[in-house]
Structure formats: C-alpha cells, structure tokens
Structure 1
C-alpha cells in the first residue's frame, strides 16, 4: 500500500495528491510509478476512535492521449449557514491538463482571501450572506471546454434563547417560557422536557403564532426538569435549554416583631420577613382590619437576592387607637403564613 507523507515539508509528490473535504483523492500530473501502489482510504470515528479500512484499488496508467476536458466531480446547489466553510467541487481531467476559471453571477471571482482555488474545486471560508449566488466552473484546454454551475445559498444561522433560565419556584405556580429565535425566517419550533417531546395536557400548553410560548398552569413537582426549545429550518437546527426546579414553596415567616408597649407620639416600626417560592407578598392588618398606607402608616416591601421578602410598617406618631394586634400575612401561589403580636399604645 502506498502512503504519501506531506510533513514536515510538502514535496512535489504531495502537491500532486489532493484530498477533498468529502473524502475523494485526486492525483494530478499522473506518473507511471503511481500505478505501483495500492490505494486505500481509512476512516476514524470522531467520538469512538474506531477505524475502518476500505478495499485496495490499483491505478492503471497509460500513455496520454489528447482529449477535451471532462469534469470528474461537480456541484449543483447548496444551502449553508453563514460563518461556516464550504468546498464547491470541480475536478477536471483531460490532456493537455485543462485550465480552470471560476465565475460568480457571470463574472470572474474577485480577489478575496476567503476564497481558495484548489485542484479539486473552490473552498470558501467564513461564509457571508453576500456570498450567495450562482457559481460556475469553466475548464478549458486546446481541444474544448466544459462548464458546471450551481447555486449557493448562505443563510443567517438560527440563534435561540429560552427564558427564563434556571428557575426555582413553588408548586402550583403558573410558568411561562419564551423561545426567541433570530436568523433565517420560516422556522418551526418544538419543545422538549428531559429530552422527550412535550405533549400538551391540562397543565401544559404551547401557544403563540410560531409555538414560541410554553405555559405550565398549576405546576406540580413532576414538572421539574430540563426544558429545551428547538428551532428548525430545512435541516438546520439550533436550541437552548432551561433547568426548572419546583418545590414546596409555601411561605414561612423567618423574622418578625415582638409584643411591646409604646407611648403616644412615640414612633415605632414593625418588620416581617418571609420566604417561599415564588417569593411571597406581605400584607398587614390591625385588629383584622387592613393597614392602609396614609399619613399615619408607612409601609414598604422588597425582596433580597436570597429570596427573602421583607416588609415594614412604620407608625410615625401613634395614638392610643393605633394599638392592637398587628398581623403580617405572607402569600404566594403555594399558600400563606402569618404572624401576629400585640402593640400597646398608652401613657406610662
């Protein structure tokens, strides 16, 4: 079996042998000694490393006869994402060896470092949308000419964003996922959970003009998992994913106030902190009547990065009637929790 080694420095022999991106071997300026070798191709699996070897082939080399060009390998049409590379094959035979000329949309190719003319065809790297068009390969010698042409369509690659990301929330929540797609139009969207296609049911529905929204109503613990959104167009696919964790998110009071006695006119502040999933909202009552924000009562609420919701009631100038049982109630879609204590307002 003959083996051509092209390192460290390419030799004349190496320059005569060309291997295409799709596995074809071409030999230019064929010599009689090329018939002394047996040629085989060896493939290696990308992931497993397993190798396979083809049957051997011998080359018959005869004296050259003058002939018009023949095209040994050609292309017709192709669609590819921008940013990738492609080889447009145009391997020609004939004697004398034909010259090759490439045209784009009927004009000779301009100079561009991304375009490489090879014995086996034209290689275009870092494809751009403007590279789309009609490509023609003309091969000519003193006995005639041949031409092959085809269309190249460069498309903007699909880009998918699924939101929200890595969501942790409570059972019974209503969730919305949005699959945003940029790039080529006329795509289709499909949804998966834990690698299985999502089948709409009483809890899960797929909505939107392009099926770009997934709604989960009254979510249960079994709805936890990895969600994927796939956008597909003519065999081109892009996807994004989100991890959802559903837990018992019933609120719980984690910080509160204690019973006390204050003098009339002596300002006081009450604080209530609660956690839950989703983060709860907190309301206040005084003797079972809602505390209304006004000139006497100032309320505030915020949620910290760790999910703790904190609420305050500030009473700037309390009267005796502002004493009583203050209750804070934390609520979310999973349930509620409350805490209460008496604040007495009377003179010492």
Structure 2
C-alpha cells in the first residue's frame, strides 16, 4: 500500500493527504492539479507490504509572483503618538522582509513596523521589501506630522564680550516656535541654574516668543568661557553660543568624564577661563598631543580624536 502525508508547517506532526477532485493518487504517485501556494511543504510517502515498510520525504515549493502593499499607505500622526505600518505581501517563497526610511535601511525585519512615539525625524517615506532568491517586491508609504508645529528659532541673541572682573553681565536670548520652546543655559557644556551669582529668568510674550536672560553679578575671571542658550521643544532644538572673556590669569574648570563607543569620534572643548590666553595645550600621560594622526588639537582648545579605541 502507498500512503501520502503532509507535515504540519513548523512541526513534526503529519496529516494524511485528503484526496479530492484536485488531488489524486495513482498507485504511489500523488498528483496535484492547479497547485496552490498553500500546497507547499514537506511530504512523506509511506510504503508497506507483507514484509515491512519504507518511507521517503520530499519537499514541494509552489512559487508565485511576489507582491507587497503597506497599510495604511498614508498617515498623519501627531507628535508623541504611535504610528504603525503593516507590510502585506503575497507570493512564495518569501525569504526576507526589510524596511527603508527615505532610502536608508532600518534595523527591522518584521512585517509590522511600529513607532511608539512619533518625533520630527520620523516623518518621511517608508518602504517595505520582500525578497526570495529569484525576485523582490516593494511597497511605499508616507508618514506626515499632524497639527501645526514650528521648530524653535532664536530671534535675538548675545555677542562676544571682554570684561574686567567685578563687572555685571546681562545675556539675553529670545526664541519662538510652536509649541513655545524652553530656554536653558550652559557654560562650557555645563548646565547653569540659579544661585547667589547666576540669576536666570524667562517669560513668554503676547506673541508667543520666550524671552530668557542670564545675569552674572560681580563677574570673576573664573566665570569666563563659552556661554550657550538652548531653545528646545518636542519638535526640535536650536542653540546660540558666544565667548565671555574676563581679564585674569588662566583657569581650567574641572571636566566631566565622557563615554564614547569604540570606533566613534570624540570632540571635547577645554573649559578654560582667563584673558588673554596665549595657548592651550592638551596632554596625556605627560605627552603633548597630538601624538598620532587620529588626534587633532586646535588653537581654540578643541580636541578631536577619531576612531577612538578602548583604553
């Protein structure tokens, strides 16, 4: 006797082939007319007689042209809300699924692409590609940002100043945007907050601009450096920076530790105060940098190290 079975996909369970008008068996031959994609799979033929039995496996792959669509093809999502694209596909076999955004590959290989919280940089064109060894198919969809949003824009800022110790300094930044941005201040990369000598305040005008000021009373030599105002909101950020020079001997503020991935580029600025400064030198283990081509030192105190290696 001859009996045919088909394995359940992804398991070792098998089911007897159900014969019908489309699927026939003639002796040991299984005939499938007008084969469908769902006929693909692993088959088992079992042969028995009075002496014993034998079995053999074979694999059937029914090919069909690949076709892909993305649902929805267009969607408009507000900032902070989730977005979902589903890559629907037809055809066989399908070996890989991949996604691109604005022509750049995404690290995603599932049929469903989910963005938990839409940001400004998420808007654009998305593509889903399905492939096998012979062909590929592609579909596109667009994500737009909902509502009216304008990234922050600095409308008024401050310039470089050179002062004598004991002077008072008033720095001002005015920024606009929708939603109204918040302004923060930094000195050589360190966040500033209100204290006995630094007074920070801000208010919103009737037209929606935010005005922020930084007052430094009785400025000292150590207060010199690169001052920066940063206007940020959920749709972006913009910044302005300028040097405030205070006459006096050189002073280098303590530097915070920096973490960087191996192979990346390190850019660090020397947080120096005092004026005038004749030169800024970087050292490592009592050796003056640069000591190789990956290191670059600039007259303004900036150090760049390319292709950083693990220490």
TM-score range, shorter chain: 0.3 to 0.5
TM-score, normalized by length of structure 2?
0.38
Q: Compute the TM-score of the two structures, normalised by the length of structure 1.
A: 0.35
**Structure of greater Rg:** 1
